[in-house]
Amino acid sequence: MLSAPTKSVRTKVLRVVLVTATLALLISGAAMVFYELQDFRNTWVNDLSAQADVIGLAAAPALQFEDPKAARDYLALLQAKPNITSAAIYTANGSLFASYSATGEDVSFPRLPDVDGHHVVENELVLFRRIVAGGEIVGTVGLRAHYDLSGRLLDYVGILGAIMVLSLIGAALVSHRLQRSITEPISAVTSVARTVLETRDFALRAPKTTNDEIGLLVDAFNDMLDELGHRAEVLEQSNEQLERQALERRRAEEALAAGQRRNRTLIDAMTQVVWRANNSGLFTGEQSGWAKYTGQSRNEYLGLGWRLAFAEEARDRLDLAWSRASASRETFELEARLWHAPSESYRLVRLRAVPVLSGDAEIVEWMGAISDVEDQRRAELELRTLNAELEDRVVARTQALEAANKELESFSYSVSHDLRAPLRAISGFSNLLWEDHKDHLDEEAKRKLGIIRGQAERMGQLIDDLLTFSRFGRKAIEPSELDMVDLAKNTFQRLHNGSEGNSIEFNVGRLPSATADRSLLEQVWCNLLSNAIKFSSQRDKPVVEVGGIVEEDENIYYVRDNGAGFDPRYRDKLFGVFQRLHDESEFPGTGVGLALVHRIITRHGGRIWADSQPGDGATFHFSLPREARHG
Amino acid sequence: MDEYQQVEILLVDDSPLDAELAMRGLQEHNLANNIVWVKDGEQALDYVYRRGDFKGREGSGPRLILLDLKMPKVDGIEVTRVLKGDEQTRHIPIVIMTSSREERDISQSYSFGANSYIVKPLDFESLANVASQAGYYWLAINRAPSS
């Protein structure tokens, strides 16, 4: 960038005004000083000349009478003129007659007078005048005076400088005022121009404030904006038009491409064989597709020969359909088996024949297509068969499942009735044996009889438990809102009243209510609490504690005892049917209770787990989903 | 007390062992003066209706029927259904004896009108209760159908 254009108009105008003012002042000042100096010099010379003439006039008698003393007195009068530093009077023949010095010092006036006139020696003006008396030159007066030209000059320059400074300030102020009236409209134009550039809003106008050249400039600018706006509008319109045209063209191209695609697809969809026949259904011309598919030669298919390529059983149907379509002049479709030369077999095809009608609705010729639908039909058939098979299998499975369920039910029914009958006999008759014959039995016999009775009873218990397990395992879940605190407390009361031994400390914590099957959950509490009671019964101070935690999507409950506990290595075995971790003699039980609890909780969509250390009590946790599940 | 002694009990059970145990229990509770044991439902109905083997039998009754459920030929449910459906016999108390607490058995028995339900092996205390209630029942209605 050049430096000049970056300076603002404002600065330029100011500079022009100042430079002009300065130049004018300098020139006029210099002229005035020159004139003043000339004038000073002339005045001073005239003044001195008049002084010299006065002294000469006064000193003339003294010269005539050769009285130097009188001449010196006259000269001494010059003391009133401090500028005159020294003076001298010469006789007519040129010798020094009298002299004067303002300082009283000896002044080295030249021995001889100079010619009339004046000259400047250093800072002094020296002047000589002839003394004329009675038409005769009687002598010469010489004066020497201060001639302070430089002092004078300094004064002038000083005054001139002050004037210049003042007038420049004035000029600056005036020009500042003036230039606002010029630059402000220009600035306005500039800012409008910038806004237009940025926003492309050609409707903006610069405000016109004056009617001078700047006003004209604003007008010209606004006119230009008008023109620009108009041009832009036209340009935009033509752009839009171009875009529209491009879009239309693109659409047309797409439509064209789609049309071409459709045609191709149509041709493909028309499948392998396209044929033509005359209005009577005779093949007349070349039928290359037909020949390729059926393997018929031209001579074979010409006329009605093409019919023979269809399987025999299809020909009558074909003739019928054709004659009907001829009568009604309508398109007809038919599926029939057609000889397929490449595979040397009949294949199912769909024949479609379209009559081409003349202006008076007479059939001109037939156009037709043949699609091979053998594979499609076979696939459909296979699919149908498969579906049917699948349905059959599902039905069979369901029946098998139902049968199995029934069987299981009748099995458990038989178990409960028939398996118990012999047991009842064993138990009942050993009781009778005991009652009727115990007096005749020795101790050993009594012991053995006791074992039989006990084990029969245990077997009965096992069967009962197993049946319970099976029954509850199959029972439909009927969920309802359960107060778990009530349930746990009541169950504990019921169990504890029936048990002997130490009284048990039972602590009930917070138990969130559950949505579950009441009878099943009762069974859960019953089994878990009876376990806890059983396994803590040998403690001095048995403690059973129940509590619960509300989690995000499930409630967790626990039953804790301070009883015998179990080895955590076997925790996986806890919930299996007939699995026991303790000796029967120590803690009686059948090993079904926890399996049942596990089953019930799992069927409710919950989980169950246990923590323990041998001798350190056990904690059984189970969770139930917050939203009830049916299953 | 006489009425009570006269209570005739028809015991219907296909298992002789169970029957023996039951009769033994009834004896011990002084309820065994007049027990008739039949082996299945068909015989039970014959006895009540005095037909077949029991055609022209002596005596009245029975005044209480102890009925096993699972029996060959005619089972206990069927016997209950027939007797409770008959105006002549429906007042005879029927106590079902069964080996199980299968809900199916219980509900079926009651739906056909059984008066009580005892699980084998028989709890003789409750049986005695039922029997004496049956006795009082007869006392209360005073007259058995004399036919």
CATH number of the domain where residue A42 is located: 3.30.450.20
Give the C-alpha separation, A540 to A603, whole Å. Answer: 37
Residue B23 CA to residue B9 CA, distance in Å, equals 10
Residue A255 lies in a domain: no
Question: CA torsion A180→A182→A183→A184, rounded to 10°?
Answer: 70
pLDDT at A85: 83
A35 shares a domain with A105: yes
**Distance in Å, alpha carbon of A392 to nearest chain B alpha carbon:** 33
Q: How far is CA A437 from CA A63, A432, A441, B26, B145, in A?
A: 210, 8, 7, 19, 44
Predicted pLDDT at A33: 84
Edge-to-edge strands of the sheet including A136-146?
A96-101, A84-91, A136-146, A124-133, A117-121
Is the CA virtual torsion A400, A404, A410, A411 positive or negative? positive
Query: CB atoms < 10 A from the CB of A132, how many?
Result: 14
Cβ-in-10-Å burial (0-12, 13-18, 19+) of A10 comes to middle
Q: For strand B64-68 and strand B94-98, is the pairing parallel, antiparallel, or unpaired?
A: parallel
Of A320, A351, A372, the last residue of a domain is A372
The number of domains in chain A is 4
Helix/strand/coil for A83: coil
Is A311 inside any structural domain?
A: yes
Specify if B126 maps to a domain: yes
Residue B21 to residue A428, Cβ atoms within 8 A:
yes
- Same structural domain for residues A344 and A403? no
pLDDT given at position A521: 92
In a domain, B145, yes or no: no
CATH number at residue B16: 3.40.50.2300
Give Cα A163 distance to the centre of its chain. Answer: 70
Q: How far is B111 from chain A (nearest CA, A)?
A: 19
Q: Tell me which DSSP letter residue A305 carries.
A: G
Residue where a domain terminates, one of A372, A403, A418:
A372
Please tell me the predicted confidence (pLDDT) of residue B124: 66
- Give which of B38, B46, B51, B50 is closest to B9, Cα–Cα: B38
If asked whether residues A487 and A605 sit together in one domain, one would say: yes
Same domain, A298 and A318: yes
Phi, psi of B24 (to 5 degrees): -60, -45
Mutate to test the interface with A, among B99, B107, B109, B124 (most CBs of A within 10 A): B99
Is there a domain that residue A440 lies in?
Answer: yes
| A249 DSSP β-pair partners | none
What is the token pair recorded at A544?
Answer: 């059973």
Asked whether residue A430 falls in the same domain as residue A293, the answer is no
B84-101 pLDDT tens trace: 999 888 888 888 887 767
Note whether residue B27 is domain-resident.
yes
Q: How far apart are CA B82 and CA B101, in angstroms?
A: 23
For residue A468, give the nearest of A614, A301, A339, A597 by alpha carbon. Answer: A597
Query: Tokens 């237009």 map to which residue?
Result: A196
| The two structure tokens encoding residue A118 | 């004046």
Q: How many CB atoms lie within 10 A of CB A275?
A: 21
Check whether residue A310 and residue A354 sit in a common domain: yes
The number of distinct structural domains making up chain B is: 1
Domain assignment present for B77: yes
Helices (H) and strands (E) in chain A, counts: 13, 16
A225 close to A205: Cβ distance less than 8 angstroms: yes
Quote the strand ranges of A221-331, DSSP E: 273-278
- Tokens representing residue A221 in the block: 């600018």
**Gap between the Cα atoms of A488 and A547, Å rounded:** 10
Sheet containing strand B64-68, edge to edge, reads B35-38, B9-12, B64-68, B94-98, B116-119
Contact between A432 and B24 using a beta-carbon 8 Å cutoff? yes
Which H or E run includes A428? helix A420-437
Residue A135 lies in a domain: yes
d(C-alpha A95, C-alpha A143), whole Å: 16
Query: Max alpha carbon distance in chain A (Å)?
Result: 217
Residue B146 has pLDDT above 80, yes or no: no
Strand order in the sheet with A608-612: A505-508, A543-550, A554-561, A618-625, A608-612
- The burial class, CB within 10 Å (0-12 / 13-18 / 19+), for B98 is buried
Q: Is residue A193 part of a domain?
A: no
Listed range (A258-262, A469-473, B37-41, B108-112) with the worst mean pLDDT: A258-262
> Across residues B26-30, what is the average pLDDT?
75
Among the partner-chain residues A417, A428, A471, the one whose CB lies closest to the CB of B121 is A428
The structure tokens listed for A216 are: 């004209």
Q: State chain B's maximal CA–CA distance in angstroms.
A: 39
Same domain flag for A327 and A430: no
Q: Does residue B53 lie in a domain region?
A: yes
Picking from A539, A512, A545, the residue whose alpha carbon sits closest to that of residue A623 is A512
Domain-embedded: residue A252: no
CB pairs under 8 A between A and B: 43
Parts of chain A with a pLDDT under 70: 1-7, 105-108, 110-112, 260, 262-272, 498-502, 584-586, 628-631
Q: CA nearest B21 in A: which residue?
A: A428
Q: What is the pLDDT of residue A556?
A: 94
Q: How many CB atoms lie within 10 A of CB A276?
A: 15
A356-393 as b/e, with b when 16 or more CB fall inside 10 Å? eeeeeeebebbbbbbbbbbeeeeeeeeeeeeeeeeeee
Question: Per the CB < 8 Å rule, is A420 touching B100?
Answer: yes
ipTM for the predicted complex: 0.72
Q: Is B147 a domain residue?
A: no
Q: What is the DSSP pairing of strand A363-372 with strand A332-340?
A: unpaired
B59, part of any domain: yes
Structure tokens of A104?
């009283």
pLDDT at B1 over 60: no
Last-in-domain residue among A314, A345, A372: A372
| Full domain range(s) for residue B121 | 2-140
- From CA A287, how far away is CA A310, in angstroms rounded? 16
In a domain, B41, yes or no: yes
CATH number of domain containing A488: 3.30.565.10
> A429 touching B, CB under 8 A?
yes
Stated as kind and residue range, the H or E segment containing B38 is: strand B35-38
**DSSP-assigned letter for residue A440:** G
Does one domain contain both A400 and A362? no
Give CA–CA dist A38/A68, Å, rounded. Answer: 37
Residue A591: what pLDDT? Answer: 77
Q: How far is CA B49 from CA A186, A604, B55, in A?
A: 136, 52, 8
Three-class SS of residue A329? coil
In Å, how far from its chain's centre is CA A441? 97
A417:B100 CB<8 A: yes
For testing contact with chain B, the best of A413, A415, A423, A424 (most B CBs within 10 A): A424
Same domain, A377 and A332: no
For residue A421, the chain B residues in CB contact (below 8 A) are 15, 17-18, 99
Residue A606 is part of which domain span? Answer: 477-625
- Answer whether B99 sits within 8 Å of A427, measured CB to CB: no
Best CA proximity match to A33, nearest among A159, A125, A120, A165:
A159
A557 neighbors A509 (Cβ within 8 angstroms): no
Query: What is the C-alpha to C-alpha distance for residues A275 and A617, in angstroms, rounded to an integer?
Result: 93
Report the run of H or E that residue A162 belongs to, with start and end. helix A149-199
The Cα A599–Cα A471 span in angstroms is 11
Which tokens belong to A111? 């021995």
A403 and A416 assigned to the same domain? yes
Contact B21 A413 (CB under 8 A): no
Q: Which residue of A has its CA nearest to B13?
A: A421
Q: Which amino acid is at A574?
A: L
Identify all chain B residues contacting A429, using CB atoms and an 8 Å cutoff: 17, 21
> Cα(A557)–Cα(A554) distance, rounded to whole angstroms?
10
- Please tell me whether the overall predicted TM-score, pTM, comes out greater than 0.80 for this model: no
DSSP string computed for B53-120:
GGTT--S---SEEEEESS-SSS-HHHHHHHHHTSTTTTTS-EEEEES---HHHHHHHHHTT--EEEES
Q: How far is CA B63 from the centre of its chain?
A: 8
| CA–CA distance, A81 with A102 (Å, rounded to integer) | 9
- CB contact set of A297 (below 8 Å; sequence gap of 6+): A291
Closest residue in B to A427 (Cα–Cα):
B121
CB B141 within 8 A of CB B91: yes
Looking at the structure, tell me whether residues A543 and A498 fall in a common domain: yes
A408 contacts chain B (CB < 8 A): no
| Contact: B102, A424; criterion CB under 8 Å | no
- The verdict on a CB contact (< 8 Å) between B70 and A467 is no
Phi first, then psi, for residue A346 (nearest 5°) are -80, 135
Any alpha helices (H) in A270-355, and if so which ranges? Answer: 288-294, 298-301, 312-328
Contact at 8 Å (CB) between A207 and A181?
Answer: no
